[in-house]
Amino acid sequence: MVIGRRDLIVGGAAVVAGGVVAAMASASSFGSDAAAGCQAPVKPRNRPAQPAAIVWDGDGGLHLSAYARPGGLVCVGRANFGDVFTRELAARGATVVVYLDAIIDNSYGRYHQLLLEDSSIGPVVGRWPGGPRANKWGMLTDFRPGSVLQAKFGPVLELIARENPHVSGIFLDDLGTRSWFPGVDFEAMPEMEKADYRAGAIELVRTARRVADRYGLALFVNGTWSADDGGGYPDPGMHGCALVDGGVIEHHGVDEIPFFAEYAASPQWGAGTPRGIGYMWTINDADPATRAAYVAAGIPAFATSQVDRDTVDAPWSTIRDFGLPRRGCPGEPGRRLDAGGW
């Protein structure tokens, strides 16, 4: 199935006008043998599977230096995205992606506060009709098309890209076309409400893709895009979202491998991105056996099984350059020059 990017991204405005954002490099504290250095771009690929790192808080610990190279994928958190170590990682060629959750009203962290609270970007974001609590972290936001959140989402992504020229991607948590939150009974929703949920998720990824293309970012979504159950995009009868570089499979067991093997293999993943392929990411906290089983089944491009999400484990395999963006490298394109405004 051939899916053109022009067919997928509809409507919306362009980026805020401004100067070129220069890629930022800094002197590395990782040591001379920690990275191969910034090299010429490679052809995108997603095999063989390799490790990825998560550093929600702190500086990642001793083993993070192994990811300071082209091919290293590191997701940083709500507050440490601008720390020195993130810039050093990026300067050595790693793809640093920053966490953002627009679906739960937890406003901890600079960009979540700007997005969700009354801020310079716009008024406070409302809650989903009925005010359901998604989980222990917060309530479900109102992300339906035309909502305050939709209006603020693009400008916040723009700000992330402009303020952090070392960041090469966004990890969009909880973003999918149907809910699996324990506090949200998706099956009991009226069909119109389910349609709003799907439409809102699609509009968010359209916005994210526009910003990502203009600034040279990768996108990962940790949410469900299952065929005929919320539905993929643009074809609801297929798994996957064409506008993101990869999906995330988090906390699923070996008994679910048959489903996720089909889910991850869908050609719809990544079809509308500059790289044109999907990079599936599996996360199984402190469970290397399950991680290994998913890898053996050919499911992920990246796989993580850290004991905790603040301290990085030693890589379980070789790290190779898969062709994802690396804006921290000197000379790497930082953004497109098309002007406009939200």
Over the stretch 204-260, which tens digit does the pLDDT of each residue have? 999 999 999 999 999 999 999 999 999 999 999 999 999 999 999 999 999 999 999
Residue 100 lies inside a defined structural domain of this protein: yes
Q: Is the peptide bond before 288 cis (omega within 30 degrees of 0)?
A: no
Residue 335 lies inside a defined structural domain of this protein: no
Collapsing DSSP states into helix, strand and coil, what is residue 101? coil
Distance of alpha carbon 61 from alpha carbon 168, whole angstroms: 21
pLDDT in tens, 22-62: 333 333 456 544 345 677 779 999 999 999 999 999 999 99
Q: Is the pLDDT of residue 15 over 80?
A: no
Dmax over CA atoms of the chain, in Å, equals 58
Nearest to 134 by CA among 92, 96, 103, 97: 103
pLDDT at position 334 is 54
Which residues, in sequence order, are CB contacts of 292 under 8 Å at separation 6+?
Answer: none
Residue 8 lies inside a defined structural domain of this protein: no
For residues 300 and 280, the answer to whether their CB atoms sit within 8 Å is yes
Residue 98 lies inside a defined structural domain of this protein: yes
Helix 257-265, helix 288-296: angle, nearest 10: 50
pLDDT in tens, 131-156: 999 999 999 999 999 999 999 999 99
For residues 305 and 290, the answer to whether their CB atoms sit within 8 Å is yes
Residue 338 lies inside a defined structural domain of this protein: no
Residue 19's pLDDT band (cuts 50, 70, 90)? very low
Edge-to-edge strand list for the sheet holding 95-100: 50-51, 302-304, 281-283, 246-250, 218-222, 169-173, 95-100, 73-76, 53-55
Residue 232 lies inside a defined structural domain of this protein: yes
Which residues, in sequence order, are CB contacts of 286 under 8 Å at separation 6+?
Answer: 305, 306, 307, 308
Number of domains forming the structure of the chain = 1
Q: What percent of the chain has pLDDT above 70?
A: 86
Residue 192 lies inside a defined structural domain of this protein: yes
CATH label of the domain that carries residue 280: 3.20.20
Residue 328 lies inside a defined structural domain of this protein: no
Q: Is the pLDDT of residue 275 over 60?
A: yes
Degrees (nearest 5) of the Cα angle 124, 126, 131? 145
**Which domain covers residue 50, as residue numbers?**
42-304
